[in-house]
């Protein structure tokens, strides 16, 4: 069962990851990211930052979709983290079990506009998220479990 599907450009990091794992009690975290899946140094860094009692799996986007749709993750209370909106919407539309996207943190760039604290989106990101909503995917903003869940609208 997927307990959280989150966009966070930092992937796994300190207090945020520990607050989510404390609140939701996942037994496995899937980092779905094409770049990280092929970078041994980044994988090692992420392994060091995960909670001790939680399994960490790092896969590229296609392999992540295949694993979830193939039932390989069914035995877990799974938290999935992706680094960007494009990957999130791609996965959400390809995996029936993903019913919602939590926008937790997106990096500001020259092309983005800030729509909420820690949420910076391009026009393309906004269009992708609106399309996901049109397909029945809930999209919301929630930095940590104690924050109020705010529906996405732009």
Pairing of strands 2-8, 78-82: parallel
| pLDDT tens column, 48-87 | 989 889 999 999 999 999 999 999 999 999 999 999 999 9
| pLDDT tens column, 5-46 | 999 999 998 877 889 999 999 999 999 999 999 999 999 999
| Domain boundaries along the sequence of the chain | 2-149
Kindly state which CATH superfamily the domain 2-149 is placed in.
Phosphotransferase system, sorbose subfamily IIB component (3.40.35.10)
- Model pTM greater than 0.85? yes
């Amino acid at each position: 069962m997927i307990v959280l599907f989150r966009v966070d450009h930092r992937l796994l990091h300190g207090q945020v990851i520990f607050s989510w794992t404390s609140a939701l009690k996942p037994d496995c975290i899937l980092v779905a990211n094409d770049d990280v899946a092929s970078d041994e140094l980044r994988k090692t860094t992420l392994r060091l930052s995960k909670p001790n009692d939680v399994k960490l799996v790092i896969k590229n986007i296609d392999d992540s979709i295949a694993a979830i749709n193939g039932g390989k993750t069914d035995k877990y209370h799974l938290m999935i983290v992706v680094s960007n909106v494009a990957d999130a919407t791609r996965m959400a539309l390809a995996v029936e079990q993903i019913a919602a996207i939590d926008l937790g943190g997106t990096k500001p760039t020259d092309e983005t506009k800030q729509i909420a604290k820690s949420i910076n989106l391009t026009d393309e990101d906004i269009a992708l998220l609106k399309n996901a909503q049109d397909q029945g995917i809930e999209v919301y903003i929630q930095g940590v479990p104690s924050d109020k869940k705010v529906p996405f609208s732009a």
